[in-house]
Structure 1
Amino acid sequence: MWKIAIIDDDRSVLKGLKSMIPWVELGAELVGEGMDGQEGLEIVRVSRPDIIVTDIYMPDMDGIEMIHSLRSDGYEGKIIIHSGYNDFEYARQALRLNVEDYLSKPISLQTLHAVLARAIRDLKLTRLPSPSIGLVKWHRQLGEAILTSQERKATLIIDDFLRQLDEQGVLALPAIRRFGIECWTMLTYALNEAGLPLDETFPPALIQEEINAFMKPDDFRCWIADKISSICKSRCSSEKHKEAVDFIIQYIQQHYFEEITLTELAEKVFISRNYLCDIFKKTTGETFHGYLTRVRMEKAKQLILAGKLHIYEIAQKVGYKNVSYFSTAFKKHFSGVSPTDINKRSLSELFKQ
């Protein structure tokens, strides 16, 4: 018999769920009911249910806290959330905690039956041996391949793992959807820890919707291959962008005294002028012209403090042919301080403030 526990702070809901579940048809039994997360933890500790049906908003400890605690303790059973609140953030957390389904109240008899039946089918499949490579090792290998932008290697890792699953006969529809959720959740964590967050690019709610649409193993294979391709291409593009920005920064540091244009630099790194302007700002937090001006003004400040050159000479040495324009730029950059009306001592004191 499959063991089911129900957690909800509303007694009428507890009673209703118990009457709605087709226990005999599912081959299941009720092993516990609780009214908050703390009671839920105790039920799991004592009865070890295969499936937990729980609310979110409950006193003392809510459903998400309870689920997080259970997963941290190694509970691997199915968890179904039923809630009167359609909260995206809770749905997002539920996905990360590998929740089987997130149902909105009121729940129809047909929906409850279908979700429980699917959970039990998945549980039957999990009783079969796992592929020899192991999920944790598999995700680690896959994550490493993606982080190094080895798209071909990542695809081969997926194909090899699916082949092992196929040989063991565990690629039925419920299993492939469950595997899709597990795969994406673990992959997301692995890449996030390596500094590559995926949630902004691939919203969790959209991922769940796409996984629920799987109808056959090839759907998962094509889906994950497409995601990996997008991630790898994005990483390659990001790395090239960083190289381009690093080149520009170094070029400015070495040639700030020359006439430098963004168009000229764009040609050197084979990127369009407008696109280069955009990625430079995103990477450094400054515009190209803002960064160039800052470098020139800092160099000018050093020369003024040295006290060996006239202002017009300093202007030329930092890339300005027009002394008046240089003075205006200097005054703007240093909040009203002009290079022509202060002496070395007062300027030095000012820059120390």
Structure 2
Amino acid sequence: MWRVLIIDDDFQVLEGMKKSIPWQKLEAQWVGEAMDGVEGLQKIRETDPDIIITDIYMPIMNGLEMIEQLKREEIPGEVIILSGYSDFQYARQALRLQVNDYLSKPVTLDELHDVLEKVIKGLEAKELKKLEQEEVRQRLMMYEPFVQKEWLKSVITGTLDKTVPREGMGLPESSHWIEHSHLVMGIELTSTDRISNLTVSDWSLFRFAFANIIREILAEDWPKSEFIELHSHHATIVFHIEPHSSDEALTRICRIGERITECIDKYLKLKIRTGLGSVKANWQELSDSTDEAFLDLLQQLLISGQGEPSFVPWEKQSAFRPIKFYQELAAAIVISKEEATIEIIDGYIQQLRQLPDINSVYLQYLCKELWTILAYSLYSAGIVLDELFPDIDLIKEIEQIHTVEELRPWLQDKIHVIASSRHWNENSKHKEAVDFMIHYAHDHYAEEINLEDLSKQLYLSRNYLNRIFKKAIGETFTNYLIRTRMEKAKALLIERKYMIYEIAERVGYKNVAYFSSLFKKYYGMNPSEVGKK
């Protein structure tokens, strides 16, 4: 309802307007009246009306003086002047004060109705615009963490437009990016039977547990850092380093890498390897440090006896940017774009052609790496790569690849088979929405979460959201949220820092008995039994 306040020193005018205005038809309501400008100001401050109908000539303070005071105080409200004086000076001053309309007494009911209707339509248009702006603001806030993550990915993988100004970063703690040197640690998750046997929903939980462990270690050992998950089985850490402390920093960073490796093995039974790039003075050079980190990983693999000691001439490594290729390829796979995927492959093949000394050891390693990237990328969209190639003898195929020209058709053929699968388009179409739901569950598990709220944020129906989530992950969002809470509760119980009722609240349950029953259902034991021998 639109709130209307009337100010006039004629009591009969006040009563007449209150009775004659079609309030219900206009969806408006009378909220008060006053008989002079001073009283009018007080009533306006008290009632906050949307529309003010006021006379000009009144005792103590006239209508124009009152309007001027409203402007000074920046009090909102549309003003309609209703006056028995049609003096040009009054009209000109009213125009300067940007009143909505100026009517001369006597005014007919039709005139008053038309003016009020026009003003209300204007208010409705303003309100709609305000709601649209708020909706945009809320969506920007909702996606801000994702924008930041994508910015970080583009910086470390070399896909960022180098012309973007520093002030365009939009990141918290941006002084770390400007005033410090930087170093990238590359992290590679080693493929094992344990991982290959996971369901899609279990893999999502492992992925978040993996990230949480690393973030907790960094919070303790090197707060000025960023953990960035890349597509597939790769991740990176950007360490922001105080100037003139590189040697000491490298020693500490190596220890952090060892601690991360040990903790991932201990708590998740997953194997990872880490590699380091060199220190860069400028954040815009970070992609070079990333390339060095992943080349370090490859060299470690070869030195361990799984290949020849050299596969890419070190003097030509500046043209060799595998991590950028991996990132672009995985992103194209996820969004189901066959043409874009082939274009990315062709671009990288052209890069490889510029390295005449590249040998079959690296090409075969690259094939295995690309197969792993395809597997992980499709896995996150609910597709099992091996099911698309049930009869493949991967090792035998890879052993037949000795040149760059043999690599291209092999890889293109695999992409075509994937793209021809109906599962690819169906499951990848709504991956962004599913990813948002997964992240939201892990970020807000302690709060009350329901699909109705998520559907409003994603502009998709509740039932449709539930359907695409179940199709991609293998279980309903509700069940996934419960499992996420149970995993977190178990981790908190193992720490032995909190009482059971405190843990229940921390994972979103106010009813301790209900929490305990759910926990027993998932783990076959009561919360109090966790950690006991």
Q: TM-score, normalised by structure 2?
A: 0.24
Tell me which structure has the larger Cα radius of gyration: 2
Q: TM-score, normalised by structure 1?
A: 0.36
